[in-house]
Amino acid sequence: MKTYQIENDAVRIEFIARGGCLTKMINKKTNTNYLVHYADLDEYQANPYFLGATIGRNAGRTSPPFYTNFAGEKVELDCNEGDLHLHGGQNGLQFQEWQVRKLNDSSYELCLVDDAESLYEKMAFRLVYRLENNRFRIEMYGTAEVPTICNLTNHAFFNLNQDKATIESHQLKTADARLQLIDEAFVPTEEYIDFRVGDPEYAPFNFNSRAQVGKAFELGTELSEICADGIDLAYCFEEPNNPEVAKIELTGEAETNKLVIRSNQEACVIYTANKVAARVPINDGKHMTKYQGITFEMQRMPNYVHEATDYLTDDYYAFTEYEIL
């Protein structure tokens, strides 16, 4: 499987065409790969943990598994997680081969026409991976002849520890956000938690101020048990339209590695690898364990097709920028 590379004096990025998966994001100053990756590239064929993948057509869980298309018709979606449609279903973008073209020494273009006619209207996608100094930027474009579903994200798992110990000791700060609650089936509800109210049950999930990630683990509360003793929740930003504001700040245990994420998306699903089943070798060959990494899925509000009125589009654009410090 071919690996593509973008590199400068500060950072090296590596990715593959399968799912547009990011495999390495190396801080050359500390010689640390920020990404959890499979030890064997062939594992990206199945990619049970969605490591580094471009996710879609609709990121997150859709429940009930249907939506109403532009013609007012009910479209049933395939279920690939119990009774839920997860991350675009069984043939999501993460399993597709993207056409890769080098634009210049600092950027690549990845193209794909998604023609999943049984689920969504045809849409042409273009990703641009660009590295400028210590900032790696992903731009996502989609165009369709008629309005359709589109909600993409990247599903990279981060671990800033050089020894790749778990991320429990990482320090995390989010931009001001409300928490979207989920039910026992992991389905997003229409209930949101305002951390300013000060409900002690949800306080451990509050990262509006910098705090240790592990403070939200193994709490014994109902929400903690639903999340398998970690974090698997959407943070809905109070000011989503300011792309210059850092949405996420993550710092490794030794304080030598830091990641800052900016995006134009309204929400971020934070997941800390709480549910680990497949014994797939990662990094240096050891198997992935619980809390091995943390992912920040920048996207529209989960299950938005059942909450928003403007859930169809024929012209999609999203960006996420990673500053490697």
Question: pLDDT, tens digit, for every residue of 276-294?
Answer: 887 889 998 888 999 999 9
Give the phi and the psi of residue 153 in degrees, each rounded to 5: -155, 170
> What's the CA gap between 70 and 109, in Å, rounded?
29
Q: Which band of pLDDT confidence, cut at 50, 70 and 90, is reported for residue 240?
A: confident
Centroid of chain to Cα 220: 26
Beta bridge partners of 142: 125, 316
140-189 pLDDT, tens digit each: 999 999 999 999 999 999 999 988 899 999 999 999 999 999 998 888 88
Mean pLDDT of the region 291-312: 93
Which residue in this structure is represented by tokens 């930003």? 237
Average pLDDT over residues 83-111: 94
Instruction: Report whether pLDDT(244) > 90.
Output: no
Query: Quick one: average pLDDT of 233-255?
Result: 92
Per-residue pLDDT tens over the stretch 27-36:
999 999 999 9
What is the average pLDDT value for the chain, to the nearest integer?
94
Task: Using pLDDT thresholds of 50, 70 and 90, give the confidence band for residue 241.
Answer: confident
Count of alpha carbons within 13 Å of 15, Cβ hemisphere only?
33
Model confidence band, residue 90 (pLDDT cutoffs 50, 70, 90): confident
Specify the pLDDT at position 16. 98
Is 117 a residue whose pLDDT tops 90?
A: no
Lowest-pLDDT range of 51-55, 134-138, 194-198, 247-251: 194-198
Residue whose C-alpha is closest to residue 295's, from 37, 56, 96: 37
The two structure tokens encoding residue 135: 């900032």
Q: Residue 212 has what pLDDT?
A: 98
Are the C-beta atoms of 89 and 82 separated by less than 8 Å? no
Whether the upstream peptide bond of residue 300 has omega within 30° of 0, thus cis, is no
Q: CA separation (Å) from 30 to 37, 199, 286, 293? A: 18, 40, 22, 19
pLDDT in tens, 9-22: 999 999 999 999 99
Distance between CA atoms of residues 141 and 93, nearest Å: 13
Q: Which residues contact 284 (CB under 8 A, 6 or more apart)?
A: 39, 164
| For residues 84-104, average pLDDT | 93
pLDDT on residue 71? 94
Name beta bridge partners: 157: 295
Q: What is the 3-state secondary structure (H, E, C) of the chain?
A: CCCEEEECCCEEEEECCECCCEEEEEECCCCEECECCECCHHHHHCCCCCCCCEECCECCEECCCEEECCCCCEEECCCCECCEEECCCCCCHHHCECEEEEEECCEEEEEEEECCCCCCCCEEEEEEEEEECCEEEEEEEEEEEEEECCECEECCEECCCCCCCCHHHCEEEECCEEEEEECCCCCEEEEEECHHHCCCCCHHHCCCCCEEHHHHCCCCCHHHHHCCCCCEEEEEECCCCCCCCCCEEEECCCCCCEEEEEECCCEEEEECCCCCCCCCEECCCEECCCCCCEEEEEECCCCHHHCCCCCCEEEEEEEEEEEEC
Asked whether the beta carbons of 88 and 57 are under 8 A apart, the reply is: yes
- d(Cα 105, Cα 178) in Å, to the nearest integer? 40
pLDDT exceeds cutoff 90 at 314: yes
